[in-house]
Amino acid sequence: MAQSSTREEIIRKGANLIHAQGFNATGIQQILHAAGIPKGSFYFYFKSKEDFGITVIDYFNAATGEIFRRHLNDKTIPPLRRLDALFEYFEAAFAKTGNALGCPIGNLSLELADTNERLRAHLEAVIKELIAEIESCLREAKNDKSIPDLDTADTARFIFHAFEGAILHMKVAKDIEPYRAFRRYLAGYLKRKVVPHA
């Protein structure tokens, strides 16, 4: 293998192991073994396990961000349909892993937020980008009047928080139903007109 494809193979295999086991539980030797790379060559490609962590977060972000953008920027369908298509896509993706694993960004956030400041800051930045993608779609929905005049920043956070919480619940329940509930209550929230209640 060329150097670049060896590096990519380490990242891909490492990302899969980290998604399944967490960052701390995944050893460098285990990653090299999975990638079929000789022991000791890790530090040829990465300065430290922390540096590798940054690269793996970028890898997850590239994959997730691409899925978000592909759905949310699809101008051929209305904004709210795009949001639902995004969450439908993830439902199918979760089914492929038996509703285990969950969101790698959410998993790593809870695992690393209090113990590694550099990885924490990187994860926070990724979450900010994903929420911004949702907000951008909501602004389009607000402009075309398909949602009421709500605060798009807060609503984008609500959607992201509920998404992460629902994935957490799905993962611990080993059942897609909590995630389906998320899709239902989100649709109810966004497809209705909200007026002040006495």
Q: What's the maximum distance between 2 C-alpha atoms anywhere in the chain?
A: 69
Among 1, 5, 24, 70, binds a copy of itself (CB under 8 A): 24
C-alpha distance from residue 132 to each of 76, 112, 139, 179, 192 (Å):
20, 23, 10, 22, 23
Does residue 113 interact with a copy of itself by CB under 8 A?
A: yes
| The two structure tokens encoding residue 95 | 């089914």
Does residue 109 interact with a copy of itself by CB under 8 A?
A: yes
CA distance 49 to 70: 31
Does residue 96 interact with a copy of itself by CB under 8 A?
A: no
Kindly report the number of other CB atoms within 10 A of residue 36's CB atom: 11
Nearer to a copy of itself, 28 or 162 (CB): 162
Does residue 143 interact with a copy of itself by CB under 8 A?
A: no
Does residue 85 interact with a copy of itself by CB under 8 A?
A: no
| The two structure tokens encoding residue 9 | 């193979």
Does residue 181 interact with a copy of itself by CB under 8 A?
A: yes
What's the min distance (Å) between Cβ of 5 and a copy of itself?
A: 29
Binding mask 43-82 for a copy of itself (x = CB under 8 A): ----------------------------------------
Does residue 189 interact with a copy of itself by CB under 8 A?
A: yes
CA distance 85 to 186: 13
C-alpha distance from residue 143 to each of 21, 30, 146 (Å):
43, 50, 8
Among 111, 136, 139, 176, binds a copy of itself (CB under 8 A): 111
CA distance 93 to 89: 6
Nearer to a copy of itself, 66 or 117 (CB): 117
